[in-house]
């Protein structure tokens, strides 16, 4: 029972990370396409400026839970996916540096260089996260000893690449919806155009990705055996349709929240379909690391659960307060008045 509880918490942490840091990654990936001058570029930076580092906490939490609750899965995951995870780490480091270094020199060339770094440091993690999770859904070539028998190029298979492109589109739309909330005037108009352009692409790729999931993975087996679980893809469907309806009617906060519901539903659908597996072996089903054979001791899981039940609500309350505090739009005047603005 404890193992299953921690599996759900692990899944929830990833979903929260995708919802919150997803709009940061999306904003950075949209930067060259929506911002046309220096003021607009600074607005895009400052639309995520107060939030990005706090949002990354959920990535650390998800990794920490993997290490503490499912150490065997952590060891194999960080060994098999070592190269893409290392690239992801360096991209996130350069993203942080781009925020801080961009304004250090009054030079258009200097700022342009860091804008380029910022763009790739957001696009690459979005792509890699999709590739990684698609491969986890499909299964990776690990043997009974946890030894990985694949390569980096092997991860770039059609299903993995489809997952990467899907994640990029999801995060870009999430970022466009956030920019709609945080901007005004011409930039907001372009953010709306980007959202309206990306929504049908996301919807089409969702259908394609579901078909590929049926073809290349066994995720649907659990759902066919337990039809009540189909509430999860229904939740995602409600979220993506509500996003379009609310966007059309101008209810921007609700549209962003609905898209967050879509991300939650998609994450829960994919990860739940792996259950009880965490690292599915494509070589031998018996070599699959599950929530039961890869979990920590019951004592460890019990202590961690107590800590999580105390600390996670505290973090959520702090982030809720922070989002409330910085809920207003970012404008040229607000940036000029804030000496700490990016």
Is residue 341 situated within a structural domain? no
**Measured distance CA(45)–CA(27) in Å, rounded:** 8
- Map 1-66 to HEC letters: CHHHHHHHHHHHHHHHHHHHHHHHHHHHHHHHHHCCCHHHHHHHHHHHCCCHHHHCHHHHHHHHHH
Centroid of chain to Cα 61? 13
- Which DSSP state fits 229? G
Is residue 77 situated within a structural domain? yes
Q: Which domain holds residue 323?
A: 2-331
pLDDT at 130 (0 to 100) = 95
**Measured distance CA(170)–CA(206) in Å, rounded:** 9
From the number of C-beta atoms within 10 Å of its C-beta (0-12, 13-18, 19+), residue 259 rates as buried
pLDDT at 164 (0 to 100) = 96
Could you tell me if 19 and 260 are in contact, meaning their C-beta atoms sit under 8 angstroms apart?
yes
* Overall residue count recorded for the chain in this entry: 342
Query: Quick check: helix, strand or coil at residue 87?
Result: helix
**Measured distance CA(16)–CA(64) in Å, rounded:** 15
Is residue 336 situated within a structural domain? no
Q: What pTM did the predictor assign?
A: 0.94
* Number of separate domains in the chain: 1
Is residue 259 situated within a structural domain? yes
How does 207-226 read in b/e, with b if 16+ C-beta sit within 10 Å? eebbebbeebbbbeeebeee
Per-residue pLDDT of the chain (342 residues; tens, 9 = 90+): 889 999 999 999 999 999 999 999 999 999 999 999 999 999 999 999 889 988 999 999 999 899 989 999 998 888 888 888 899 999 999 999 999 999 888 899 999 999 999 999 999 999 999 999 999 999 999 988 888 888 878 888 999 999 999 999 999 999 999 999 999 989 999 999 999 999 999 999 999 999 999 999 999 999 999 999 999 999 999 999 999 999 999 999 999 999 999 999 999 999 999 999 999 998 888 889 999 988 999 999 999 889 888 988 898 898 899 898 888 888 888 888 877 778
pLDDT at 115 (0 to 100) = 96
Q: Phi and psi for 250 in degrees, rounded to 5?
A: 80, 15
Torsion of CA 237, 56, 147, 221, to 10 degrees: -10
Is residue 281 situated within a structural domain? yes
Is residue 49 situated within a structural domain? yes
pLDDT at 342 (0 to 100) = 82
**Measured distance CA(226)–CA(276) in Å, rounded:** 14
pLDDT at 169 (0 to 100) = 97
**For the chain, first and last CA: distance in Å?**
47
Dump the DSSP string for 134-181: HHHHH-B-B-TT--B---HHHHSSHHHHHHHHHHHHHHHHHHHHHHHH
CB atoms under 10 Å from CB of 201, counted, come to: 14
């Amino acid at each position: 029972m404890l193992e299953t509880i921690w599996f759900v918490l692990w899944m929830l942490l990833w979903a929260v990370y995708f919802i919150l840091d997803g709009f940061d990654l999306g904003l950075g990936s949209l930067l060259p396409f929506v911002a046309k001058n220096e003021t607009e570029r600074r607005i895009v930076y400052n639309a995520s400026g107060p939030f990005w580092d706090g949002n990354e906490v959920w990535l650390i939490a998800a990794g920490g839970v993997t290490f503490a609750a499912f150490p065997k899965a952590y060891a194999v995951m960080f060994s098999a996916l070592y190269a893409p995870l290392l690239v992801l780490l360096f991209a996130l480091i350069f993203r942080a540096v781009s925020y801080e270094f961009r304004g250090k020199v009054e030079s258009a060339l200097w700022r342009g260089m860091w804008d380029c770094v910022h763009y790739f440091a957001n696009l690459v993690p979005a792509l890699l996260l999709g590739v990684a999770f698609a491969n986890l859904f499909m299964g990776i070539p690990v043997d009974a000893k946890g030894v990985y028998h694949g390569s980096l190029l092997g991860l770039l298979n059609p299903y993995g690449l489809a997952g990467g492109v899907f994640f990029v589109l999801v995060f870009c739309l999430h970022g466009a919806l956030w920019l709609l909330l945080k901007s005004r005037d011409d930039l907001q108009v372009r953010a709306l155009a980007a959202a309206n352009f990306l929504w049908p692409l996301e919807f089409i790729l969702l259908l394609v990705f579901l078909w590929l999931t049926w073809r290349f993975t066994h995720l649907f087996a659990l759902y066919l055996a337990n039809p009540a679980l189909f509430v999860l893809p229904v939740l995602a469907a409600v979220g993506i349709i509500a996003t379009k309806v609310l966007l059309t009617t101008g209810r921007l906060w609700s549209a962003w929240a609905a898209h967050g519901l879509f991300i939650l539903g998609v994450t829960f659908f994919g990860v739940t379909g792996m259950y009880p597996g965490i690292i599915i072996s494509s070589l031998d089903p018996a070599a699959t690391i599950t929530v039961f054979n890869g979990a920590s001791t019951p004592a460890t899981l019990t202590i961690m659960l107590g800590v999580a039940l105390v600390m996670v609500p505290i973090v959520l309350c702090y982030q809720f307060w922070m989002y409330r505090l910085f809920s207003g739009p970012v404008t040229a005047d607000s940036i000029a008045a804030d000496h700490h603005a990016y």
